[in-house]
A and B are shown apart, each in its own frame.
Chain A
Amino acid sequence: MSDRARTGVFLKTLGVAGGYVVAIWLVHGAILSKRFHRLALSLALAFSLAQCVAILLLGSISVVKKALSQGRERRRRTLRPEILDRLAKHAAKSNQLAELERLFRNHPDEVEACLDELSTSIVGAAHDRLSQLAIELKLVQRWENQYRSGSAETRMQAITRLGGLAPIYPTTTLLRALEDQENSIRIEALRILMRSGERAEAEIAFEFALIQPLLVRAILCEDLRPHALILGERALPRALASSDARLVRTALELFGAWRKVLPLPDFPLLLRHGDPEVRAMAFRALPYVAAMPEVQTQVLSGLADKDERVKIAAALAAGRMKVDSALPLLSRLLRETRSEMALVAAYALARMGPCGMKILEDGVCSPSPVTAGAALEALERAKIDRYEYPGL
């Protein structure tokens, strides 16, 4: 929650508390002080009375809201078939504009909801006609105004509806939504941008995603995946070449998550980056780099790195890429005292074919419980074809 939002919550709480103080004092002064001479008792009863009134009021509001909501629902159920029917006919080239304008004048919310529902389930020329209808009914203006609302739910609805128009709605409202304080709205705006399939929009979305929290990146990761090839040409290499290590890490994270093999000629530089976390992430993503020069040398240097995270990542890469020259180093790492390093090395060896399995079988007989345990676990899982190291 932002500081501004937190301050708002505090102020509202204080406001309610202040309101209660005023109400208590008024009730005490006007009614109870005449009956109860003890101040504390009078104030306590005044508070109780105020709270009873508040509860009754809130209870009544709740009942009224429920009744109104049920009324709206009943109305919606009655009108929905007619509205949907007319919208469907309009989408199928039968001009229903006059009737829809009439319906919109009398029941704007219902028409809006039905239009939203129908437009998400049709494509092509029919969808274009419904988008045009939204413009003619001045819904675009209405949604743009709704985007100015303080309610996140209303803004979200507005952006979703604007984004549903065809062609892709490119106005300032959508671009403003990229800066919205709510994660969900920023995500929706980015998704709308990416729907165009155009390079420029995909690059904007990618570069924007790089500076978002992990939650946003995790949600957008799959939306960006279809554009991986386009992004791999310019935007991704640009991000990986950044001097900001944090940006490089998030770019590597997304690249690794796409699991698409891409040509990245400058990737070897990342394996020697000054930041150990960047190096580690680069090794994790290494199997997805196409035509990587001197991959065996790179992996061996990773296995010899000072930083354990880098060694672990290099070991995983060695196993996935079946780097035979890494066998001696992996065998040495299997004999490490640190359990996790030994285990990762064991899993890598399990993927290396008969030579790796032989090392593991010897490892099972090791006097070191760490080595024997790691070797046994990896062997066992290799026998049931479960090579992935659980914990990634």
Chain B
Amino acid sequence: MHWHQLLINVFWVFESFAIAYVGTINAIYFLFTVLGYFALRRYPGRLKPGESLALLKSPLVPALSLLAPAHNESLTIRESVRAMLKLNHPNHEVIVINDGSTDDTFRILIEEFRLYKSGRVSLGTLRTRPIRGIYESRDPIRLVVVDKPNSGKADSLNAGLNVARSPLVAVVDSDSLIEPGALLQLAQPFLEDPDQTLAAGGIVRVVNGCDVEHDQVTRVRVPSSLLCRFQVVEYLRAFLGGRIAFSFLNSLLVISGAFGLFRRDVLLAAGGFATRTVGEDMELVVRLHRLWRERKKDYRVIFVPEPVCWTEVPEQWKTLRRQRNRWQRGAFESLWLHKRMLFNPKFGALGLITFPYFVLFEMLGPAVESAGYIFTGVGLGLRIISPEIALLFFVVSILFGILLSASAVLLEEFTTRRYSSPGDVGRLLAAAVVENLGIHQLLIVWRTQGLIDGLRGKKGWGAMERRGFQAKRQVRAA
């Protein structure tokens, strides 16, 4: 009897905690969505055509080095590099870092762009694995290829940083498509406030399902695959809701490794990208916050909602699982490495509010929510908790989740409006509902596994299957 009563009490306590926790996290997301909407309306917006044209001719726009690490990207490297070279910017160079590819990536680069081993000197002082060579093109294109043994994305980025010379450094994934005007838009904050702006991130959107011609997205469509549609909704929620709000509060802790722009002197002063974590993008930004707050200098790390980078999301369940596992591990490692910021008044609102939020909700949230589902299911089955309580849990988790996702889709419709067809908006709204009826639950289980793996010290990226943009065009034509 005593044990039975104890069990009931434990269930009640945890259930109450889980309900309050999940309800709180969704309420916070909701506030972020509202804040994001109003902040987005105040955003000055993209450069006018006349302004863009003027900037493209202006010698005052700082030069920019675009770093693109590449590992086994033979399917897409040719188009990706061509697209990067064609980006609209008055003074940019592309630095591809071949991270020990075992396929034809390096050979394709050499042949396609007529590369030769050059005497270009590395000016940076970051410690990296030794590089095999630096290559430049015989053609009048500003392409540099750094060839090195495989040592991971962070080390590759550091090697590229050593070779880069421009005051601004953009970090992109070599398999992403960046819109032609995106670099200039992302550089805008650095022109508005060159001294205080340390880093800026752009929005990452899902290219699956879109029409791609001549290395540009010509028509935005919702993907036919359900799995990809859920990810579209998820990306909208994360970028248009969360990132804008955090940027507005100068508490942005993540700039996507797929599309970020940094001051080179800042990166070098901070020591470059950390090689001991799979979340090197998040870890770097957290570190920048920490260092600049410790130095008591005014700064900003911001999210710019207009410049778009299109990326391919996983279409296979196992690839998605590996990706989410890695992201959660990366988040854990990044926060763990800077745990002294937690509840530390020295770091102001970042230490007292933002960092705890990320630890308590983003890092631990999946585990608590997963446990909530288990406890609710078991409790309901054993009749330890009442149907009303179970309903309450499902309302705050599933129903709130559906409403949040639907709000994110509408936020997109009222602001950036990339999905112009009513059919696409309808499909996304439907995906917003279905996403929370199983997919979200699966994702939080994977993220919980990622947290456990992070605690256990698991390393590694896993493989990501790519179909390539050419393959997509052929499939659509067929």
Please list the residues of chain A having a beta carbon within 8 angstroms of any beta carbon in chain B.
1, 5-6, 8-10, 12-13, 16-17, 36, 38, 40-41, 44-45, 47-48, 51-52, 54-55, 58-59, 62-63, 66, 152, 156, 182-184, 187, 191, 213-215, 217-223, 253-254, 256-257, 259, 339-340, 343, 373-374, 376-377, 379-380, 390-392
List 6 A-B residue pairs with CB atoms under 8 Å apart, sorted by A's residue number.
Answer: A1-B42, A41-B388, A214-B194, A343-B121, A377-B118, A391-B166
- 8 nearest A-B residue pairs (beta carbon): A391-B165, A215-B191, A376-B119, A218-B60, A257-B59, A373-B121, A51-B403, A41-B392
CB-CB < 8 A to B166: which residues of A? 391
CB-CB < 8 A to A62: which residues of B? 410, 413-414, 425
Q: Which of B89-141 contact A (CB under 8 A)?
A: 93, 118-123
CB-CB < 8 A to A187: which residues of B? 51
Q: Is the CB of B121 within 8 A of A55?
A: no
B125 to chain A, nearest CB (A): 9
By beta carbon, the residue of chain B nearest A61 is B414
Q: Which of B46-80 contact A (CB under 8 A)?
A: 48, 50-51, 54-55, 57-61, 63
By beta carbon, the residue of chain B nearest A214 is B191
Please classify the interface of chain B as helix (H, G, I), strand (E, B), loop, or mixed, using the class held by over half of its residues: helix
Encoded as 1 (CB less than 8 Å from any A CB) or 0, chain B from 11 to 45 comes to 00000000100010000001100110011001010
By beta carbon, the residue of chain B nearest A62 is B413
Cβ-based interface call for B266 (8 A): no
Given contacts A48-B399, A62-B410, A213-B193, contact A38 B392 (CB under 8 A): yes
Given contacts A12-B38, A48-B399, A391-B165, contact A218 B61 (CB under 8 A): yes
B171 to chain A, nearest CB (A): 18
Q: Is the CB of B407 within 8 A of A217?
A: no
Please classify the interface of chain A as helix (H, G, I), strand (E, B), loop, or mixed, using the class held by over half of its residues: helix
Q: Is the CB of A253 within 8 A of B35?
A: no
Q: Is the CB of A41 within 8 A of B422?
A: no
Given contacts A9-B35, A58-B414, A66-B422, contact A44 B395 (CB under 8 A): yes
Cα separation A215 to B142 with both chains bound (whole Å) = 25
CB-CB < 8 A to B396: which residues of A? 44
Q: Is the CB of B410 within 8 A of A55?
A: yes
Q: Is the CB of B191 within 8 A of A218?
A: yes
Cβ-based interface call for B188 (8 A): yes
Given contacts A38-B388, A66-B422, contact A13 B38 (CB under 8 A): yes
Q: Which of B364-406 contact A (CB under 8 A)?
A: 388-389, 391-392, 395-396, 399-400, 403, 406
Cα separation A198 to B50 with both chains bound (whole Å) = 22
Q: Is the CB of B60 within 8 A of A13?
A: no
The size of the chain B interface, using a CB distance under 8 A, is 54
CB-CB < 8 A to B410: which residues of A? 55, 58-59, 62
Cα separation A340 to B264 with both chains bound (whole Å) = 14
Which of A59, A218, A221, A256 has most chain B Cβ within 10 Å?
A218
Find B42's partner among A9, A41, A220, A254 (CB 8 Å cutoff): A9
Q: Is the CB of B63 within 8 A of A392?
A: yes
Q: Is the CB of A17 within 8 A of B31?
A: yes
By beta carbon, the residue of chain A nearest B48 is A184
Q: Is the CB of B395 within 8 A of A48?
A: yes
Cβ-based interface call for B235 (8 A): no
A364 to chain B, nearest CB (A): 9
Cβ-based interface call for B192 (8 A): yes
Which of B31, B51, B410 has most chain A Cβ within 10 Å?
B51
Cβ-based interface call for B248 (8 A): yes
By beta carbon, the residue of chain A nearest B42 is A5
Given contacts A58-B414, A187-B51, A257-B59, contact A44 B248 (CB under 8 A): no
Q: Is the CB of A217 within 8 A of B388?
A: no
CB-CB < 8 A to B122: which residues of A? 339
Q: Is the CB of A259 within 8 A of B59?
A: yes
Cα separation A257 to B407 with both chains bound (whole Å) = 47
Given contacts A184-B48, A214-B194, A377-B120, contact A55 B422 (CB under 8 A): no
B79 to chain A, nearest CB (A): 25
CB-CB < 8 A to B248: which residues of A? 1, 6, 9
Q: Is the CB of B395 within 8 A of A380?
A: no
Cα separation A65 to B175 with both chains bound (whole Å) = 37
Please list the residues of chain B having a beta carbon within 8 angstroms of any beta carbon in chain A.
19, 23, 30-31, 34-35, 38-39, 42, 44, 48, 50-51, 54-55, 57-61, 63, 93, 118-123, 142, 165-166, 188, 191-194, 248, 388-389, 391-392, 395-396, 399-400, 403, 406-407, 410, 413-414, 422, 425, 429
Find A214's partner among B142, B192, B413 (CB 8 Å cutoff): B192
B351 to chain A, nearest CB (A): 21
Cα separation A92 to B85 with both chains bound (whole Å) = 47
CB-CB < 8 A to A47: which residues of B? 400
Which of A1, A40, A187 has most chain B Cβ within 10 Å?
A40
Given contacts A214-B60, A380-B119, contact A48 B42 (CB under 8 A): no
Besides A55-B406, A377-B118, 10 new A-B residue pairs in contact (Cβ under 8 A), listed by A number: A1-B248, A9-B248, A40-B392, A62-B410, A62-B414, A182-B44, A222-B58, A253-B60, A376-B119, A391-B166
Given contacts A377-B120, A391-B166, contact A13 B34 (CB under 8 A): yes
Q: Is the CB of A41 within 8 A of B59?
A: no
Q: Is the CB of B34 within 8 A of A41?
A: no
Cα separation A251 to B389 with both chains bound (whole Å) = 69
A48 to chain B, nearest CB (A): 5
By beta carbon, the residue of chain A nearest B125 is A339
A228 to chain B, nearest CB (A): 13
CB-CB < 8 A to A17: which residues of B? 31, 34
Find A340's partner among B119, B123, B193 (CB 8 Å cutoff): B123
Q: Is the CB of A52 within 8 A of B403?
A: yes
CB-CB < 8 A to A213: which residues of B? 191-193
Q: Is the CB of A374 within 8 A of B121?
A: yes
Q: Is the CB of A222 within 8 A of B422?
A: no
CB-CB < 8 A to A259: which residues of B? 59
Cα separation A52 to B395 with both chains bound (whole Å) = 13
CB-CB < 8 A to A222: which residues of B? 54, 57-58
Given contacts A62-B414, A376-B119, contact A221 B165 (CB under 8 A): no
Q: Is the CB of B55 within 8 A of A219?
A: yes
CB-CB < 8 A to A191: which residues of B? 50
Cα separation A13 to B188 with both chains bound (whole Å) = 26
Q: Is the CB of A391 within 8 A of B63?
A: yes
CB-CB < 8 A to B55: which residues of A? 218-219
Given contacts A16-B34, A63-B422, A380-B118, contact A48 B400 (CB under 8 A): yes
Cα separation A141 to B120 with both chains bound (whole Å) = 61
Q: Is the CB of B93 within 8 A of A44?
A: no
By beta carbon, the residue of chain A nearest B410 is A58
Given contacts A6-B248, A390-B93, contact A48 B403 (CB under 8 A): yes
Given contacts A51-B407, A213-B193, A223-B54, contact A9 B38 (CB under 8 A): yes
CB-CB < 8 A to B191: which residues of A? 213-215, 218
CB-CB < 8 A to B413: which residues of A? 62
A70 to chain B, nearest CB (A): 11
